[in-house]
Amino acid sequence: MTAFKKADILLPKNVDMEKWSVVACDQYTSEPEYWAETARLTEGAPSALELILPEVYLGADDVDERIARIHAKMAEYAESGLFTEYKDSLVYIERVQSDGLVRAGIVGAIDLEQYDYRKGSKSQVRATEATVVSRIPPRIKVRQGAPVELPHIMILIDDSAKTVVEPLAEKKQGFEKLYDFTLMQGGGSIRGWRVDDKSADGVIAALEKLGDIDEFNKKYSLNETSPLVYAMGDGNHSLATAKEYYEQLKAAAPDKDLSDHPARYALVEIVNLHSPALRFEAIHRIVTGVDEAELLAKLTERLALSEQPADQRITIVENGAHRDVYVHNTLSKLAVGSLQTALDELLPQLGGEVDYIHGSEVVDRLSKAEGAVGFLLPDMGKEELFPTVIVDGALPRKTFSMGHAADKRYYTEARRIEE
C-alpha cells in the first residue's frame, strides 16, 4: 500500500483567509520584522500565526510561554467550532507563486510508519538532505500536547508521465471549491478544491503504480528491493518531528495498539517533481576563519582537484575572483556532496566555519574578508534528485533550495492529532 492516504482535514470557516494563512515557520528566520508585520496584519483575527512557533523565536527567553499559548489557542479554536472537518478527504490546490507560475499539489496524510529519515533508509518516504537531529527536540515541544497540526511539509513524487496530480486540473470544475484567496506579504495566491471520491481513488491507484517495485527498478535501471516514492522537498525537520513524537507515544505505551492513532500520520502536500513551477537552485558555501592556502591545498589533495574538465565542477572564489576546478576523486554523485564531505572531514582539523549562501554575489562579497574562501556550486538538475537519493542516501544539508521564501507553503489546512 502507498504511504499517502486521505485525511480528516480541518479548514476554518467564516474567517478572513488572507489573515488566517501564514508562511512556513522556518522562513525569514533572520528577519524578525517580517514576523512583526505578520502579527500586525493578523491582529484581532483568527490566524494560523497563533498556532505556530516561527523559528525566529526559537531562542527567545519566553519560548515556553509561547508554546503554552499556542496549545491554548489550538484548543480554543478546536472547541469553539471554528473548523469544518472534511472527513476522509484530499484537497487539490493550485498555488500561484510570486513569479506567476502555478504549482499544483494534493494535501493528504503520509504514513509515518513508512518514513525513515536516516541515511541509507529504504523506506517509501525518505529525506533528501541530512536531518540535523538536534533540531528536532524544540519542535517536539510544540507538537506535544497539541490537539491539531498544521503542515508546511512538501513531498515530491517523480511522476514524469503526470498520472497523479495533473489529471485533477481537468476535473476541478466538478469538485467542491473550498477556498480562493490572496496570500499575505507577496506570497501570491491559492485555490483549493475537495477531490471527489472517484478521483481520490484514482490518485491512490496512480501512486501505488509509482511504487510498483518492478516498474521502479526499470525506471531507474536498478535492482532495489523497496521503492523510493516520496522524497522530501520542504519541511524535512517537521516531518522528522512528527515521526519522533509518534515513536515516543509508542514507546510510552508498548502494550497499546496505536496503529490507528491520528499521530501515526502527518498532513503534507505532494507535488510532482516535474512541475514547471518547481526550480532547484544551488546553495553555495563560504568558509571563514581559516588559512585559505592550507584549506585549498587539503581540498585539492582530498578531491584530486584540477583544471582538467570532469563531471563535477566547483568554482573557488578568492577575494571576489573566480576559478573553476574539477573533482576527480568524487565522494558523492554531486559536486556539492563531494565538497561538503571533504569540508566536514577537514574543518575540524583546520578550524573555521562554513556558512550556506543563496546568491553568488553574496559569496563574492564575503570572500574578500581575510581568512575567507567561497565555493560556488552548479544548480542541481531536478532529474538528479531521485537517482542520487536512491544510490547515495540523504544528501548533505543545504544541497539545494526549492524556490524563494515567499513561495514556500502557507499554513491553510489543519488536522487533529489527538485521539
51 part of a folded domain: yes
394 part of a folded domain: no
391 part of a folded domain: no
Count of alpha carbons within 13 Å of 105, Cβ hemisphere only?
A: 27
* 22 and 165, same domain (yes or no): yes
* 79 and 138, same domain (yes or no): yes
Rg of the chain on CA atoms, in Å: 22
DSSP per-residue string spanning 4-56: EE-EEEEEE-SS-HHHH-EE-TTSSTT-HHHHHHHHHHHTTS--GGGG---GG
* 258 and 366, same domain (yes or no): no
Q: CA 379 to CA 313: how far, in whole Å?
A: 11
Is residue 395 a contact partner of residue 334, using CB atoms and an 8 Å limit?
A: yes
384 part of a folded domain: no
Q: CA 232 to CA 153: how far, in whole Å?
A: 8
Over residues 364-392, mean pLDDT: 91
What are φ and ψ of residue 150, in 5° steps?
Answer: -125, 135
* 250 and 101, same domain (yes or no): yes
Q: Average pLDDT, whole number, for the chain?
A: 94
pLDDT at 132 over 80: no
* 266 and 298, same domain (yes or no): no
Over residues 4-18, mean pLDDT: 98
Task: Give the pairing of strands 372-376 and 148-149.
Answer: unpaired
Could you list the residue range(s) of the whole structural domain that residue 334 is in? 284-376
Strand partners, 103: 95
pLDDT tens sequence across 57-100: 988 899 999 999 999 999 999 999 999 999 999 999 999 999 99
pLDDT tens sequence across 158-189: 999 999 999 999 999 999 999 999 999 999 99
Q: Which residues contact 205 (CB under 8 A, 6 or more apart)?
A: none
Q: CA 307 to CA 326: how far, in whole Å?
A: 6
Q: Which residues contact 280 (CB under 8 A, 6 or more apart)?
A: 379, 380, 381, 382, 385, 400, 401, 402
320 part of a folded domain: yes
Closest CA to 210 of 200, 198, 197, 220: 220
Task: Give the model's confidence band at 412: pLDDT under 50 very low, under 70 low, under 90 confident, else very high.
Answer: very high
241 part of a folded domain: yes
Whose cell is 494534493? That residue is 106
Closest CA to 268 of 63, 124, 71: 124
* pLDDT at res. 58: 84
Q: What is the DSSP letter of 288?
A: E
Dihedral (Cα; 331, 337, 340, 343), 10-degree rounding: 10
Q: How many domains does the chain have?
A: 2
* 164 and 306, same domain (yes or no): no
Q: Which residues contact 251 (CB under 8 A, 6 or more apart)?
A: none
Strand partners, 288: 353, 372
Strand partners, 318: 321
Q: Higher model confidence: residue 303 or residue 332? A: 303
* 119 and 227, same domain (yes or no): yes
* pLDDT at res. 358: 76
* 272 and 301, same domain (yes or no): no
* 275 and 288, same domain (yes or no): no
pLDDT at 134 over 80: no
* 250 and 345, same domain (yes or no): no
pLDDT at 393 over 90: no
Helix (H, G, I), strand (E, B) or coil at 213: helix
Q: CA 11 to CA 69: how far, in whole Å?
A: 21
Q: Which residues contact 201 (CB under 8 A, 6 or more apart)?
A: none
pLDDT more than 90, % of the chain: 78
How many Cβ atoms from other residues are within 10 Å of residue 186's Cβ? 12
C-alpha cell at 346: 577537514
C-alpha cell at 280: 532547484
* pLDDT at res. 357: 85
Q: Which of left, alpha, beta for 403 (phi over 0: left; psi -120 to 50: alpha)?
A: left
Is residue 324 a contact partner of residue 315, using CB atoms and an 8 Å limit?
A: yes
381 part of a folded domain: no
pLDDT tens sequence across 237-295: 899 999 999 999 999 999 999 999 999 999 999 999 999 999 888 889 999 999 999 99
290 part of a folded domain: yes
C-alpha cell at 419: 485521539
* 335 and 409, same domain (yes or no): no
* 268 and 306, same domain (yes or no): no
Angle subtended by helix axes 213-220 and 385-392, to nearest 10: 100
Is residue 129 a contact partner of residue 236, using CB atoms and an 8 Å limit?
A: yes
Is residue 411 a contact partner of residue 269, using CB atoms and an 8 Å limit?
A: no
Q: CA 41 to CA 20: how far, in whole Å?
A: 10
